[in-house]
A and B are shown apart, each in its own frame.
Chain A
Amino acid sequence: MSEVKMIATRQSYGNALAEYGAEYENLVVLDADLAGATQTGIFKKAFPERHIDCGIAECNMAGIAAGLATTGKIPFMSSFAMFAAGRAFEQVRNSIGYPHLNVKIGATHAGISVGEDGASHQCCEDVALMRTIPGMTVIVPSDDVEAKAAVKAAIEMEGPCYLRFGRLAVPVINDNDDYSFEIGKGIVLREGKEVALIASGLEVAETLSAAEKLAKDGIDAKVVNIHTIKPLDEELVIASAKETGKVVTIEEHSVIGGLGSAVCDVLSEKLPTKVLKIGVNDTFGESGPAKELIKKYGLDADSIYEKVKAFLS
């Protein structure tokens, strides 16, 4: 078995910014005293004059990003998801979302895989918050390849975009030659007729492993990677539900308001289907190694496998 490359998507974020910084001269990166953690430090090293440290003041950072965008810059404001989407929510809503400014929000350390820092820093509500803002694009990349592609797509699109990255190193799963990223276009990673497993972020790799286990039991699961939560690939979601009749959503986010809710919003209206939402069950996280927490909160491949089996029986 070949060795699987592991890389955290926050690292991919920093690498991508540094790579595209040369091509896009208007690209400006803002951080709030977390450049080492969000990995924008990589960009800072390459383009120090275009890296703006705002200090520990995320609300002001959001406003500065908005002001920069009005003058034609492409600002990436970076912080932990908790502070970018949570603390600065109203600034993102009113100073960026309402005027539909071309600000990109690079939110790292999302979900419980933050690990040891514990519940105060484990944001499982950011996708829910961001997707309620009209005109906000919300992307949750699943690995290094996708994270990098998402950054490029965010630079090239016009308008506000929220990008969700993780702290934990995750396997590279999209390194196939025919991989292509398009905002709002989901990717079928595995065909199957009995159940559609729709996942995002680091849960895509866990879901693929779960599907392999299900296959050994003779259960034929379709696996869909929904990297763009908004605008959602409604066509693919509906087609997957139609094909299998049963849908499971898997995300490292609260079961309230995230991918699962977005999928249910579409299906309840267009094709009522039984849906199992796997995610963080309306609870706060806790301190611990990320891998252990993913298992404890039922988000690892084995847990997904068990839950899908129960759902199908």
Chain B
Amino acid sequence: MDNLELKKTANEVRKGIVTAVHSAKSGHPGGSLSAADIYTYLYFKEMNIDPKDPRKPDRDRFVLSKGHTAPGYYSTLANRGFFPVEDLTTLRHTGSYLQGHPNMNEIPGVDMSSGSLGQGISAAVGMALSAKLSNESYRVYTLLGDGEIQEGQVWEAAMFAGHRQLDNLVVIVDNNGLQIDGNIADVCSPYPIDKKFEAFNFNVINISGHDFEQIEAAFTQARQTKGKPTAIIAKTVKGKGVSYMENNAGWHGKAPNDEEYAIAMKDLEKAGEELCQK
């Protein structure tokens, strides 16, 4: 898939995010939209996965440590063919398998339940360790929020991964700069993020999380790196793609009303049309 196709796919993923959250009347659009390009790259280009065989033993694993951005995850999985895109409108509804936060026992393609911040990275480390113990070649990816890394457990996991030289592990930090209470730098600054991971013996790559060339280069470099886990610090825009949500902490965990939904879809339709003209 070339970069134009990836962009078009990410735009479809964004539509699914907005539609799901609108239907649920709750949920987390901001951090889902900021990570949409990374989700898309992982599931449409990077990872060895098969929607027809979601649990094949040699698959690459993904753990959504920032579990609240499930709408982005679900929309990506649906667009990739793990389950029908139409089901996204059941998000957070009573009886739906699309729970507010990922449930590995209900959702095809989900490798680990998550939602409580700081915990997913440890599970990803456990998966990467397991591959090393059994000499298996699958790789493990985990996506964290930049607010999430305020959790101490993240650094326990990072210390272990660096110590064990888990070069089959890629930690991606979605650095959109905002958390519920505001700017991460104002709430309790985790900066410098790259230096912290470096100090824990990670190979660290800083990129724009919306530039597929940079995303591809980073994941390629991660594959080539031996003896160290990789941390990709992806600078992103929270709410990316929906005009009024961009860089607005208020859209961290809020659903658009009907009117707002219409504007959001119009933004994304327009972006899609522009991509088609390229």
* Best-buried of B123, B124, B125 by chain A (most CB within 10 Å): B123
In whole angstroms, how far apart are the Cα atoms of A49 and B164 in the complex?
A: 12
Residue in B121, B130, B156, B157 whose CB lies within 8 Å of A71:
B130
In whole angstroms, how far apart are the Cα atoms of A100 and B130 in the complex?
A: 18
Residue in A64, A98, A100 whose CB lies within 8 Å of B125:
A64
Category for how many chain A residues contact B: 20 to 34
CB distance from B24 to the nearest CB of A (A): 20
User: Which residues of chain B from 115 to 130 have any CB-CB distance to chain A below 8 Å in the complex?
Assistant: 115-116, 118-130
- Decide: B130 and A60 in contact? CB cutoff 8 A: no
User: Which residues of chain A from 45 to 69 have any CB-CB distance to chain B below 8 Å in the complex?
Assistant: 49-50, 52, 54-55, 57, 59-69
Chain A residues near B115 (CB-CB < 8 A): 94
Chain B residues near A98 (CB-CB < 8 A): 103, 113
CB distance from B260 to the nearest CB of A (A): 32
In whole angstroms, how far apart are the Cα atoms of A55 and B164 in the complex?
A: 12
- Decide: B156 and A57 in contact? CB cutoff 8 A: yes
CB distance from B161 to the nearest CB of A (A): 10
- Closest residue on chain B to residue A59 by CB atoms: B153
- Decide: A71 and B127 in contact? CB cutoff 8 A: yes
Q: A65-B126, A73-B133, A100-B105 are in contact. Are A60 and B157 (CB under 8 A)?
A: yes
- Decide: A62 and B129 in contact? CB cutoff 8 A: no
User: Which residues of chain A from 19 to 53 have any CB-CB distance to chain B below 8 Å in the complex?
Assistant: 28, 49-50, 52
- Decide: A94 and B160 in contact? CB cutoff 8 A: no
In whole angstroms, how far apart are the Cα atoms of A2 and B112 in the complex?
A: 53
CB distance from B131 to the nearest CB of A (A): 7
- Decide: A63 and B123 in contact? CB cutoff 8 A: yes
The answer to whether the Cβ of B37 comes within 8 Å of any Cβ in the partner chain is no
Chain B residues near A99 (CB-CB < 8 A): 103-105, 112-113
CB distance from A160 to the nearest CB of B (A): 13
Main secondary structure of the interface of A (DSSP, over half): helix
* Best-buried of B113, B115, B119, B122 by chain A (most CB within 10 Å): B122
Chain B residues near A55 (CB-CB < 8 A): 156, 159-160, 163
- Closest residue on chain A to residue B127 by CB atoms: A67
Total contacts A-B at CB 8 Å = 103
Residue in B61, B105, B113, B160 whose CB lies within 8 Å of A57:
B160
The answer to whether the Cβ of B148 comes within 8 Å of any Cβ in the partner chain is no
- Decide: A63 and B105 in contact? CB cutoff 8 A: no
Q: A67-B112, A71-B130, A90-B116 are in contact. Are A95 and B160 (CB under 8 A)?
A: no
User: Which residues of chain A from 75 to 112 have any CB-CB distance to chain B below 8 Å in the complex?
Assistant: 75, 90-91, 94-95, 98-100
CB distance from B113 to the nearest CB of A (A): 4
CB distance from B154 to the nearest CB of A (A): 9
Chain A residues near B111 (CB-CB < 8 A): 70
In whole angstroms, how far apart are the Cα atoms of A49 and B135 in the complex?
A: 12
- Decide: B126 and A68 in contact? CB cutoff 8 A: yes
The count of residues in chain B whose C-beta lies closer than 8 Å to any C-beta of chain A is: 33
In whole angstroms, how far apart are the Cα atoms of A98 and B126 in the complex?
A: 17
In whole angstroms, how far apart are the Cα atoms of A94 and B128 in the complex?
A: 20
- Decide: B133 and A63 in contact? CB cutoff 8 A: no
CB distance from B109 to the nearest CB of A (A): 13
Chain A residues near B118 (CB-CB < 8 A): 59
In whole angstroms, how far apart are the Cα atoms of A12 and B127 in the complex?
A: 29
- Decide: B123 and A95 in contact? CB cutoff 8 A: yes
- Closest residue on chain A to residue B136 by CB atoms: A71
- Closest residue on chain A to residue B105 by CB atoms: A99
- Decide: A63 and B121 in contact? CB cutoff 8 A: yes
Type the 1/0 row for B212-247, where 1 means its CB is closer than 8 Å to any CB of A: 000000000000000000000000000000000000
- Decide: B133 and A66 in contact? CB cutoff 8 A: no
- Decide: A91 and B122 in contact? CB cutoff 8 A: yes
- Decide: A60 and B153 in contact? CB cutoff 8 A: yes
Q: A59-B153, A59-B156 are in contact. Are A49 and B133 (CB under 8 A)?
A: yes
In whole angstroms, how far apart are the Cα atoms of A68 and B134 in the complex?
A: 11
Type the 1/0 row for A157-170, where 1 means its CB is closer than 8 Å to any CB of B: 00000000000000
- Closest residue on chain A to residue B164 by CB atoms: A52
- Decide: A67 and B105 in contact? CB cutoff 8 A: no
Q: 4 tightest A-B contacts by CB?
A: A67-B126, A63-B122, A60-B156, A64-B126
Enumerate 26 A-B pairs (CB-CB under 8 Å) in ascending A order: A28-B133, A50-B133, A55-B156, A60-B156, A63-B122, A63-B126, A64-B123, A64-B125, A65-B126, A67-B112, A67-B126, A67-B127, A67-B128, A67-B130, A68-B126, A70-B104, A70-B111, A70-B112, A70-B126, A91-B116, A91-B153, A94-B115, A94-B119, A95-B119, A98-B103, A99-B105
Where the two chains meet, the residues of A that have a C-beta atom closer than 8 Å to any C-beta of B are 28, 49-50, 52, 54-55, 57, 59-73, 75, 90-91, 94-95, 98-100
Q: A54-B160, A57-B156, A69-B126 are in contact. List 20 more A-B contacts (CB 8 A).
A: A50-B133, A54-B156, A55-B163, A60-B125, A60-B153, A60-B157, A63-B120, A63-B153, A64-B122, A64-B123, A64-B157, A65-B126, A66-B123, A67-B126, A70-B104, A72-B130, A91-B116, A91-B122, A95-B119, A99-B112
